[in-house]
Structure formats: structure tokens, C-alpha cells
Amino acid sequence: FVLGIFLGRISKENLFISGMKMVIAGIVSVLISVLLIRNF
């Protein structure tokens, strides 16, 4: 989330939206890794 705020400041986007994008990306990557571990 902090990284999203940092990137949001650079690109001058809304800080909250940018932070939420990073949270969603983190959740997706965790889900993918869990699925890969369970399948293999």
C-alpha cells in the first residue's frame, strides 16, 4: 500500500486509488502462488 502511495505521488494519481491497486495486485499474486503450490 505504501508503494502504491509512492507511485501515486510520482504519477500524480489519486493516492487512495493507487494504494488500492497495489493491495489488489498483492492479493492476486498471493492467490496465484497458493494455487501453484497446491497444484504442484
3-class SS at 13? Answer: coil
Domain that holds residue 32: 2-39
Report the alpha-carbon distance of residue 13 to residue 22 in Å, rounded.
13
pTM over 0.85: no
pLDDT tens sequence across 1-40: 666 666 656 666 566 776 778 788 888 988 988 888 888 7
Report the alpha-carbon distance of residue 20 to residue 36 in Å, rounded.
24
Count of structural domains within the chain: 1
Contact present, 4 and 18 (Cβ < 8 Å): yes
